Chain A
Amino acid sequence: MTENLKRIFNFAVNDLNRNKGISVAAIFVLIITIMLVTGLVFFQGVANYVTAEIKNKIDITAYFKDGVEEEKVLSVRDEIIKLSPNIKNVEYVSKDQALEIFNEKHKDNPVLSQALQEVGDNPFLPSLNITTDRDPVQYASIASILQNSDFGEIIESVDFSQKKDTIDKVYSIVSNINIFGILLSIVLVIIAVSVVFSTIKLTIDNAKDEISTMQVVGASDKFIKGPFVIQGMLYGLVAFLVCFLLSALFSYFLSFKTQSMLPGFNIFGYFLTNWWIFVLIQLGFGVIVGGFSALIVVKRYLEK
């Protein structure tokens, strides 16, 4: 048994060496298709980051009536935190802080600064800024609770209704991006599998007379199939090694570019954090699809 496996493995390695042209072509096609699939993983990383960023920027603000004591606002904050486990953060912004933020934000706009001076008093209201990690439905329910609860009396306004359309639009875009990503992944994976299958089929078509001779001399099906399947897997293994290296290099050199486009997102960091996902996908795709394609093609020849 072990001797037979050794022989089958040696046949595969010898055939791979002796058909360098075909082997290189098959590996090249595998590299391209694996890189296509790898591109999807990177795309998912970017999409997840952008989605998270967008979600982080969405919040609702409850403005309290002028003169409401800070302790009361803080007790409302504690109550809100208890409302739902999906509430990520509730930030208290006092009247003075709101003014500071405004001044800082508009320090280069003399018209606004002058307008504020003309008002004289600090016109800003204390507020609670609430962010959740879920969909807009969460915001709607929180807004409703705020307006209808006991502390509704001390709340001046909740700005969710003004932001609602924007939030809905953003979430619709995010959801569309996700659906598009899934559809694109399915289509690309189908294309990639078909391309790998066709390439492996071409390499084996080249050996169809050989397969028939092996049958005539009484070789068992395993003895015939084995070397082709291992060869397919070896193509996948070599392609994986190249792709892994290319992914590391690409992400390293692109990280400067992506950081300037998406501050806070380091594509090389994403690669390093998720290296095992890349290994699983690239190795799995290359070796499994390569070996399985070879198995199906040779099986067809043996059944003829």
Chain B
Amino acid sequence: MIKFDNVTKIYPPDAVVLQNVSFEIKEGEFVCVVGKSGAGKTSLIRLMLGMEAPTIGEVYFDGIRLSEASAEKIQEIRRRIGGIYQDYKLLPRKTVYENVAYIMQVEGKENREIESEVPKILEIIGLKEKLNNFPDELSGGEQQRLAIARALVNHPDIIIADEPTGNLDPYNSYEVVSLLQKINKAGKTVILATHDREIINKLSKRVITLEKGKILRDESEGRFII
């Protein structure tokens, strides 16, 4: 589904953030990308989303070479990905309801469908009472749950979670991770970038370990060893 073919990313003038990175993620996999801060996890995700182009090498999404894809194709690919980020990336001027509805509106879904789906997912995620609140009126945990609701509402093929537990307490972190496991069990591909040792060791899933932009290990049932 996603393939990195000998990818190197250099930010001018000479900051090498990824070096000769090659791996493939198959449909339905749960892959953890681990590494210390600055190891290249976020750059890897930005490349997957087509937000950056590799300096050398190629990134493929379902066989499509991202560097050659049109803007419309990239947008279409991004709509197939549900993103959960450490800084939540919520729309501050939209309410909880509107943040989730926006994703469906971007997809061009009918109003009827939006009006039926959004309250359902917000109920599942426990934010039904805060439909009309703005993101800055929510706690950190609530904001992360909102980000998750937004990532899931369109039933994406892939969930990419970049440090989703970075700002959460252990209880909320556990909630988020178990939710990701459930999503994976439902057949979706999940990519989790984190530097949380405990989470990785508990999951016992495939682990790609990055260090200074290079792949140190790629193990099918890995542990956090750096």
Bound together = yes
Where the two chains meet, the residues of A that have a C-beta atom closer than 8 Å to any C-beta of B are 3-4, 7, 14-15, 18-19, 207, 209-210, 212-221, 223
For the complex, give the distance between the alpha carbons of A207 and B91 in Å: 9
Question: Which residue of A15, A217, A221 is within 8 Å of B71 (Cβ)?
Answer: A221
Question: Which residue of A14, A19, A207, A213 is within 8 Å of B90 (Cβ)?
Answer: A213
For the complex, give the distance between the alpha carbons of A217 and B82 in Å: 8
Q: What B residues does A220 contact at CB under 8 A?
A: 72, 75, 106
**When A3-B111, A4-B108, A221-B71 are in contact, do A216 and B83 touch as well, CB less than 8 Å?**
yes
Question: Which residue of B93, B102, B108, B111 is within 8 Å of A217 (Cβ)?
Answer: B102
19 intermolecular pairs with C-beta atoms under 8 Å apart = A4-B108, A14-B98, A18-B93, A210-B92, A210-B93, A213-B89, A214-B91, A215-B51, A215-B78, A216-B89, A217-B78, A217-B83, A217-B102, A217-B150, A218-B75, A218-B76, A219-B102, A220-B72, A220-B75
For the complex, give the distance between the alpha carbons of A218 and B105 in Å: 11
B51 touching A7, Cβ below 8 Å: no
B108 touching A213, Cβ below 8 Å: no
Q: What A residues does B108 contact at CB under 8 A?
A: 3-4
A216 touching B78, Cβ below 8 Å: yes
B103 within 8 A of A: yes
A218 touching B77, Cβ below 8 Å: yes
Q: What B residues does A19 contact at CB under 8 A?
A: 93
B49 within 8 A of A: yes
Q: What A residues does B81 contact at CB under 8 A?
A: 218
For the complex, give the distance between the alpha carbons of A14 and B92 in Å: 12
**When A207-B93, A216-B51, A217-B78 are in contact, do A7 and B71 touch as well, CB less than 8 Å?**
no
**Scoring B residues 118 to 147 as 1 if CB is less than 8 Å from chain A, else 0, what string do you get?**
000000000000000000000000000000
Looking across the interface, which residue of chain B has its beta carbon closest to that of A221?
B71
Which among A14, A15, A213, A217 has the highest number of chain B CB atoms within 10 Å?
A217
For the complex, give the distance between the alpha carbons of A14 and B72 in Å: 27
For the complex, give the distance between the alpha carbons of A14 and B91 in Å: 13
Looking across the interface, which residue of chain B has its beta carbon closest to that of A3?
B111
Where the two chains meet, the residues of B that have a C-beta atom closer than 8 Å to any C-beta of A are 49, 51, 71-72, 75-81, 83, 89-94, 98, 102-103, 105-106, 108, 110-111, 150
Q: Looking at the assembled complex, report how far the CB atom of A300 sits from the nearest CB atom of chain B, in whole angstroms.
A: 15
For the complex, give the distance between the alpha carbons of A216 and B80 in Å: 11
The A interface is mostly helix, strand or loop, or mixed, namely helix
Q: Looking at the assembled complex, report how far the CB atom of A186 sits from the nearest CB atom of chain B, in whole angstroms.
A: 37
B79 touching A218, Cβ below 8 Å: yes
**9 tightest Cβ-Cβ pairs between the two chains A and B:** A218-B78, A218-B79, A213-B89, A219-B106, A218-B75, A18-B93, A7-B105, A220-B75, A210-B91
Q: Looking at the assembled complex, report how far the CB atom of B85 sits from the nearest CB atom of chain A, in whole angstroms.
A: 8
Q: What A residues does B93 contact at CB under 8 A?
A: 14-15, 18-19, 207, 210
Q: What A residues does B92 contact at CB under 8 A?
A: 209-210
Looking across the interface, which residue of chain A has its beta carbon closest to that of B81?
A218
Q: What A residues does B110 contact at CB under 8 A?
A: 3
Looking across the interface, which residue of chain B has its beta carbon closest to that of A302?
B71
Q: Looking at the assembled complex, report how far the CB atom of A24 sits from the nearest CB atom of chain B, in whole angstroms.
A: 16
Q: What B residues does A14 contact at CB under 8 A?
A: 93-94, 98
Q: Looking at the assembled complex, report how far the CB atom of B19 sits from the nearest CB atom of chain A, in whole angstroms.
A: 25
Looking across the interface, which residue of chain A has its beta carbon closest to that of B82?
A217
Q: Looking at the assembled complex, report how far the CB atom of B130 sits from the nearest CB atom of chain A, in whole angstroms.
A: 17
Q: Looking at the assembled complex, report how far the CB atom of B98 sits from the nearest CB atom of chain A, in whole angstroms.
A: 8
B103 touching A217, Cβ below 8 Å: yes
Which among A14, A214, A215 has the highest number of chain B CB atoms within 10 Å?
A215
Q: Looking at the assembled complex, report how far the CB atom of B2 sits from the nearest CB atom of chain A, in whole angstroms.
A: 16
Q: What B residues does A215 contact at CB under 8 A?
A: 51, 78
Question: Which residue of A15, A212, A218 is within 8 Å of B106 (Cβ)?
Answer: A218
For the complex, give the distance between the alpha carbons of A216 and B102 in Å: 12
**When A19-B93, A210-B92, A223-B106 are in contact, do A216 and B49 touch as well, CB less than 8 Å?**
yes
Q: What A residues does B71 contact at CB under 8 A?
A: 221
Q: What A residues does B89 contact at CB under 8 A?
A: 209, 212-213, 216
For the complex, give the distance between the alpha carbons of A87 and B102 in Å: 70
For the complex, give the distance between the alpha carbons of A216 and B77 in Å: 10
For the complex, give the distance between the alpha carbons of A221 and B78 in Å: 13
Looking across the interface, which residue of chain A has its beta carbon closest to that of B88?
A213
For the complex, give the distance between the alpha carbons of A19 and B78 in Å: 29
For the complex, give the distance between the alpha carbons of A219 and B92 in Å: 16
Q: Looking at the assembled complex, report how far the CB atom of B159 sits from the nearest CB atom of chain A, in whole angstroms.
A: 13
Q: Looking at the assembled complex, report how far the CB atom of A11 sits from the nearest CB atom of chain B, in whole angstroms.
A: 8
